[in-house]
Amino acid sequence: MRQSYLFRLLLLSTLSTLSACSQDFLVETDPNAVSVNDYYQSENDVQLAVNGVYQSLRNNNALAENSGLFSEERSDNTGRNDNQSNAGEPFQFNDFSVLPGNTYLKAHWLALYQIVTRANQVLAGMEAVSFAKPETKTQYQAEVKFIRALAYFHLVRKWGDVPLVTKPLLSDAVSASTFREKKETVYAQIVADLTDVIASPLPDVQPLAQKGRVSKVAGNALLGQVYLTMATTLDAANRTANLNQAKTYLTAAYAKRSFGLLKEIPYADVFDVSKKSTNAEIIFQIVYRQGDPVYSSSIAVNNQAQGETINSLKVTTGAGGNVKADLVKEYEDGDVRKDFSIKYANAANVKDYFITKFRDASAGATTNGYGGNDWILIRYADVMLLLAETNLYLGDEAAAIALLDQVRDRAKLPPYAVAKTNATYAAKYPTLKLAILHERRVELAFENHRWFDLLRFFTPTEAVAYFQAKPQADYGTAKVSNFGPKDYYFPIPADEVKLNPTKMYQNPGY
């Protein structure tokens, strides 16, 4: 009998290992060098294996800087107008026509489960090792559990019910584990993992030499977002309890910031390559190495349009990172984030906006475009707006507005009380809820948050109405009218369903 692609990953007998000095955890060695059964002999072996779990985040089919196809291109921020390249499969995501056999979708599923597989292997393997200090083991466990929780948070939001595996599987256990677990159970495991992170001896903030590693602040921030997502997308009976938990953990993260008001950190500084390790707003990032042909960042050059040099010194010939007219019109007059994040390209084959938020046009990146951008997964403006959203749902509008206004103040925009007296603003965002959603859109554009925001803010029925109200002319070649209730989730990859159509049942509409 054929084995599913997912559970082939769960049976991997090898583990990528990385060197372990400072940010050298970026560097991968031969992934087929050592059998897992023989690998774990010392604390150093565990450290290298933990680094291998971090390395799995850097897969662009997983959660790395070029993974926007599976989130941002699913939203109304960006996409692609080319419906021919690569058999038209990438176009399906923004066109809401994804098929279960889409090979990009399957690659994303596999990459997320590779993260889970590595995490499970390390957690089990370190049990065979004696540690000089018990807290060292607990720290490693916390780092790995955070990453596993992050992977499952993406899986459960993108597919709903998914297989839940928390230990390495022997061949005789694969069949019994090949089934979709209810999303409520998946969320419970995510909460359990992140609760262990927060209770661990990890530092609140990682020191400079360890940037890119998990901290307690990251654990609090992610757990707060998880509870907020549960409150808005799961059983309404637990809504208030989950909202209160979200407030607790988001507040704990916010309280640990090393700055006063958000405006103390200029918006451009958040994405400045020269300040990426010391910027107080960044909570958790995937680290890239400037100038390195293998471990450098490519997002700046990938987004650059022909005839432009703002992102990179490398000459490009394409249209750059797509920006939908729907998003361009979302920016208010005077918003400093617009000119930093997007630019109009005049090249004859472009004549459109492209993404400029991620830049490295320094000599260190060379004319090959080997950028030094880190990929930011969690930052304080995100936490503040999540906390504003939570406070709104709990009935504390004053607290919500205070946080919203901090973000607007940094963007050189008037406070909410003034903005809502503007007829245009009031017509577009008639409620505080929509004002917060708007602020998240322009603050976090192209950072892969928009799709998940839409899932939290709207029920499936409301999301359909929201998308289908958009003018097609502002959406591009992809058909916004294609969006329907089924698109709340991705289809389960066809190869997984075929193995067990009953236990690996397909999502409705596919």
User: pLDDT at position 5, please?
Assistant: 47
DSSP H/E element including 134 = helix 134-159
Q: State how far the Cα of 78 lies from the Cα of 71, in Å rounded to an integer.
A: 10
The pLDDT value recorded for residue 499 is 87
Say yes or no to pLDDT of 2 above 90. Answer: no
> H-helix or E-strand containing 344?
strand 342-345
pTM of the model: 0.94
What integer is the mean pLDDT of 255-268? 98
Give me the mean pLDDT over the 370-381 stretch: 98
Element (H or E) spanning 342, and its range?
strand 342-345
Predicted local confidence at residue 19, as pLDDT? 35
Which segments of 183-337 are extended strands (E)? 282-286
φ/ψ (deg, to 5) at 500: -155, 85
Task: Copy the structure tokens of residue 9.
Answer: 């990953």
Count the neighbouring beta carbons within 10 Å of the beta carbon of residue 40: 21
Average pLDDT, the chain: 93
The Cα–Cα gap between 39 and 319 comes to 47
Is the pLDDT confidence value at 417 over 80? yes
Give the residue-averaged pLDDT of 316-321.
95
Q: How many CB atoms lie within 10 A of CB 237?
A: 7
β partners of residue 282: 379
C-alpha distances (whole Å) from 187 to each of 181, 253, 386 are 10, 20, 18
Q: Which of 17-26, 157-166, 291-300, 329-338 shows the lowest per-residue confidence on average (mean pLDDT)?
A: 17-26
Question: Can you give the residue ranges of every domain in the chain?
Answer: 1-202+458-510
By CB neighbour count within 10 A (0-12 exposed, 13-18 middle, 19+ buried), where does 236 fall? exposed
Q: Provide the CA 399 distance to its chain's centre, in angstroms.
A: 26
Which pLDDT score, from 0 to 100, does residue 172 have?
A: 66
Which pLDDT score, from 0 to 100, does residue 38 have? 74
Confidence class for position 171, pLDDT limits 50, 70, 90:
low
- DSSP annotation of 32 reads T
Res. 176 pLDDT band, cuts 50 70 90: confident
Helix then strand count (H, E) for the chain reads 22, 4
- The HSE-up count of residue 240 (CA atoms within 13 Å, CB side) is 3
Of the given ranges (170-174, 227-231, 308-312, 429-433), which has the lowest mean pLDDT? 170-174
Is-contact 341 446, C-beta < 8 A?
A: yes
The answer to whether residue 185 scores a pLDDT higher than 50 is: yes
Nearest-5° Cα angle at 343, 340 to 345: 160
Interval 116-146: pLDDT, tens: 999 999 999 999 999 999 999 999 999 999 9
Q: At 35, is the pLDDT very low, low, confident or very high (cuts 50, 70, 90)?
A: low
Between 15 and 57, the more confident residue is 57
Residue range 255-261: average pLDDT? Answer: 98
Beta bridge partner(s), residue 371? 297
- The values of phi and psi at residue 320, to 5°, are 80, -170
**Inter-CA distances, 171 with 3, 12, 122, 128, 175, Å:** 10, 11, 18, 21, 8
pLDDT reported for residue 23: 54
Residue type, 143: E
Tell me, which fold does domain 1-202+458-510 have in CATH?
1.25.40
